[in-house]
Chains A and B, each alone.
Chain A
Amino acid sequence: MLLYINGQSREIPSEVDTVQRLLDHLNIGKKILIVQHNEEILKRENYASAPLREGDRIEIVHFVGGG
């Protein structure tokens, strides 16, 4: 299915149907991250249950150096 991740469209296999599966698919499951799914900033414990749908907008952010 087509998802918009960090502002870019990506084709993701249909079996990748939750946020947790998406993070694993992108090989970032172990990183310190924050995920926003459409309008909602997700709690970690909801990653496995948040279902992905065609056209969903995902923001995956993390902490970088800054003052």
Chain B
Amino acid sequence: MDLWQIGPYTFRSRFLLGTGKFSSLEVQAKAVEASQAEILTFAVRRLNLDKPDEPNFLEMLDLSKYKLLPNTAGATTAEEAVHIARLARASGLSEMIKVEVIGDPKYLLPDPIATLEATRQLVREGFIVLPYCSDDPVLAKKLEEAGAAAVMPGASPIGTGLGILNSYNLQVIREQARVPVIVDAGIGSPADAALAMELGADAILLNTAVSQAADPVLMAEAMRDAIIAGRKGYLAGRIPKKAVASASSPTSGLPWGTAAKAE
């Protein structure tokens, strides 16, 4: 069985699903079910006290089936990220935290320095830290050395659906990482997810690709299948790319012609 671990936790599914930007709770529930994801991300925000009974997706979930991965989305400094993480942990529902510290409001690129600082501090405080980072192999290594339980390099900026922009870097990160590599952000199509897995990623985290698809439930199924297919493709050992052709059918035994008689 092809299981994998984050810190003390073991998982079978390599599909981590974000819970943002779904058009309805009903579609969201069906998409989560179709994904067979075992890890779901959430953001931490003020409760709207004027509408306290607004339905909340987390409160509808059977929490025994999922591991919650709260994120620090909204933080622009390490201090803010640490604060959100502490709030999330105080719920008693999760020791894991996705560190997301955004340094740029247009491209939502992660601030590498604040991400590293927040990771160091949260590791010190005993969190299981999963930092979202750029696809910089040196940064990924430093995050790992700081105690991150996994590294989460982006395929491309959040919500762009541009897929993998730098497969070279992702392969270097994969080669050098001794913790799981979870490609997070920018996935658009099942082919993107499959490619990331074929490059050796341990798992994929995506959100917009499913929640904003025309048919999120069908896309969740497609992504689930793509991640499984990509993983098998990686384990199966693909053929190399060659410059010249190599016939698949035998070159001898064709049913015409006569060989010269032996003298």
- Interface residues, chain A, CB within 8 Å of chain B? 5-8, 26-28, 31-36, 41-44, 59-67
Asked whether A66 lies within 8 Å of B42 as measured between CB atoms, the reply is yes
Asked whether B59 lies within 8 Å of A41 as measured between CB atoms, the reply is no
**When A and B form their complex, what is the total count of cross-chain residue pairs whose Cβ atoms lie within 8 Å?**
102
Knowing A26-B49, A31-B52, A33-B47, say if A65 contacts B57 (CB, 8 Å): yes
Interface SS of chain B: helix, strand, loop or mixed?
Answer: mixed
Asked whether A61 lies within 8 Å of B44 as measured between CB atoms, the reply is yes
Task: Name the B residues within 8 Å of A34 (CB-CB).
Answer: 44, 87-88, 90-91
Asked whether B41 lies within 8 Å of A66 as measured between CB atoms, the reply is yes
With both beta carbons as reference points, the residue of chain A lying nearest to B45 in the complex is identified as A64
Task: Name the A residues within 8 Å of B91 (CB-CB).
Answer: 32-34, 63
Complex-state Cα separation, A59 to B47, whole angstroms: 9
With both beta carbons as reference points, the residue of chain B lying nearest to A42 in the complex is identified as B90
Whole-angstrom distance between the Cβ of B10 and the nearest chain A Cβ: 24
Task: Name the B residues within 8 Å of A64 (CB-CB).
Answer: 42-45, 56-58
Complex-state Cα separation, A60 to B48, whole angstroms: 9
With both beta carbons as reference points, the residue of chain B lying nearest to A66 in the complex is identified as B43
Which residues of chain B in 183-239 are interfacial with respect to chain A, using CB atoms and an 8 Å cutoff? 185, 205-208
Q: Is B86 an interface residue (CB 8 A)?
A: yes
The winner among A6, A41, A59, A67 for most chain B CB atoms within 10 A is: A67
Complex-state Cα separation, A42 to B87, whole angstroms: 9
Complex-state Cα separation, A8 to B50, whole angstroms: 11
Q: Is B46 an interface residue (CB 8 A)?
A: yes
